[in-house]
Amino acid sequence: MQDAALIVGLGNPGAEYARTRHNAGFMLTDRLAERWNGTWRMERRFGARLARARFGAKVCWLCQPQTFMNASGESVGAVLRYHRLSASGMLVVVDDADLPLGALRLRPDGSSGGHRGLQSVEQHLGTRAYARMRLGIGRRAEAGRQIIGHVLGAFEAVESEWFARVLDRAVEAVECWLEAGLGQAMNRFNGAVAPPEQRQAE
């Protein structure tokens, strides 16, 4: 399909995961659907929620795989094939515990960095050549590499306010990617969003 883009937010389905750090991708695609007047529908043939919307002249498919994080690629591959979309026109949004809270990083390709959702997408597509946006959720220093409880936990109140600002910036970054390309979006939006306290002091 010409002039179409697929924006995939990775996360886990179910109310118990809805506001957890690992669902950062779901949170962003929810924001985009609301902003672009997209309506979510459960598409069982893909194992995903999909919303069709428009941004400018471009048709945008928003996707939230419902397979749980480790099998996200099953849904992503099925959606790409059915709608005849290319991985080069796809952006995958994930949380990243190796980036501090507040950080946003766009890349044109690369390794999964140990993220199970990206590993699954790479496995099912057979390529790493797709854009990805990583939203930093940080990690607890005392937890070391044992971060399951952290990523599957909800944001604390101050963190939630901070992350809402990150999502605002991420929405702008997605729209810049659609309008001007990934290079421009990387130049303008890669970096850190200051916490609310720091903004108030400036």
Q: Which of 22, 83, 115, 150 is catalytic?
A: 22
Q: Which residues of 7-21 are buried (b: 16+ CB within 10 A; e: fewer)?
A: bbbbbbbeeebeebb
Cβ pair 4, 85 in contact under 8 A: yes
83 included as an active-site residue: no
Helix axes 157-180 and 182-189, enclosed angle (nearest 10)? 150
What are 72's two structure tokens?
């996200």
| Residues with catalytic function | 22
